[in-house]
Amino acid sequence: MPIRSRVVLASTFSSIPLILSSCHHYEPAMFNRGEGIESEPVLVIPFSEPQKKRWYTESERGALAAEAFRTWAYKFAEPEFPDPEATTAALNVVRNWDRPKITGKDWQKIAVGLGVKYILVAEIQSFTLEKPRTIGILEPQVTASYRLVNAETGNLAMDRPDLVVRMSHTSEKDIPQLEIGSEKEDIERKLLVRLGERIGQELYGYYPGDG
């Protein structure tokens, strides 16, 4: 079902009520045959960043994108996330993992006792602010991958490789020059937030214009 209704009631001069549908077309989730996660409880792991050798919970970019996902879900869906205090032990296990990979069965064990149905695991594969083969021309782009693991079975519920998110411009005149300091950090933050929002849209469904 759509994550929220946008039906508006109106009336004509003759006081006959009419139902006006939103001009926005609902985009179903990519997951669960369009139904999405709905209100199933999810454990969100702060994203890793292999390119910078940042493991899960170690990447500032990954933490920001994961938080943006949660923020979007709270605003536009009806998510269920475990209490942050309850996830501390699980995240400590992830942080101190001594093997190069965490399997589905490993994730299943890590999530024991949290009462979650799914675990969201993601990696930021590449991140760039400048347009290729240019100097100082801004063309922010992030490539990521994510997986939804069934916490009850350890099986893969969804695999989304090579998700590319860009900050586009309507024309060449709108393309800003690359700045330094706080402006550059602000652009980076906006791109990571957009990544988190996009994952939320794909997993829950959305109305274009939300977020």
Domains of the chain: 7-204 (3.40.50.10610)
Name which of 104, 186, 199 is nearest 143 in CA terms. 199
DSSP annotation of 56 reads T
Q: Residues 134-153: what's their mean pLDDT?
A: 90
Name which of 97, 1, 91 is nearest 43 in CA terms. 91
pLDDT at 6: 32
CA dist 194 and 205 (Å) reads 15
- pLDDT grade for 159, boundaries at 50, 70 and 90: very high
Q: Residues 8-34: what's their mean pLDDT?
A: 59
Whose structure tokens read 């490993």? 106
Across the strands, what pairs with 121?
147
- pLDDT grade for 184, boundaries at 50, 70 and 90: confident
